[in-house]
A and B are shown apart, each in its own frame.
Chain A
């Protein structure tokens, strides 16, 4: 079944801890994205990658890190430097070409203990 798998669905972070959110896709899309969603603020872009072994900062990259070692995978690490990590995190992919739509995973809710 083709799609985007995000795990875990719920994640809790302790003070000073780094946590990693997983995003795996089998759509064979080159581009992958991480968005953060806060109530009433819409979606904000954290990082994106257009090709393996390359990624760029989005609008709110501070306190986050990513890697893109495989086409299928684009994990997001929320570091201890991110002081307000509680949010809903969404991973998305896009096929190559202009005007192509984004496909979204079902999200990970991160909360601070």
Chain B
């Protein structure tokens, strides 16, 4: 079935550092791709998404580009803040248009030190 693979954490960076969290996917066709963020003790929130190849999703200074050539959707941010500390999940629809939910990667725990 369709799946995503994320880099394992924790990833520890200093404030204002450049961030990359790798995500690659295996899928039939070209599904929509998502990044979700989870702050401690909370549910997940959509961070950004891209619905077709070469699309760039962006939000709150984070960006990810849908690369079909490399089947990747890496998350980047130019200058991280302590408030970005959270767990980040890459995801894609389980099947088809996603009516039966999303498949998530295992999550990457990001720790930003002041």
Contact = CB atoms under 8 A, between A and B. Distances in A.
B102 interface: yes
Contacts of A58: 100-101
A74 interface: no
Contacts of B103: 45
Interface stretch (B16-24, B43-51, B70-78): B43-51
A50 interface: yes
Nearest to B94: A45
A35 B44 CA distance: 11
B94 A101 contact: no
Interface string B27-68: 000001010100001111110010100000000000000000
B98 A100 contact: yes
| Most-contacted residue by chain B among A41, A90, A99 (CB, 10 A) | A99
Interface of A: 4, 6, 31, 33, 35, 40-43, 45, 48, 50, 56, 58, 90, 92, 94, 97-102, 104-107
B89 A94 contact: no
Q: Interface residue tally of chain B, by bracket? A: 20 to 34
A92 B45 CA distance: 11
Nearest to A9: B41
Nearest to A106: B43
A48 B45 contact: no
Given A31-B99, A42-B105, A56-B100, A104 B43 contact: yes
Contacts of B34: 101
Contact of A104 (B45, B49, B93, B99): B45
A98 B96 CA distance: 8
Given A45-B100, A99-B51, A102-B101, 11 more contacts: A35-B101, A40-B106, A43-B44, A43-B104, A45-B101, A58-B100, A58-B101, A104-B43, A104-B44, A106-B41, A106-B43
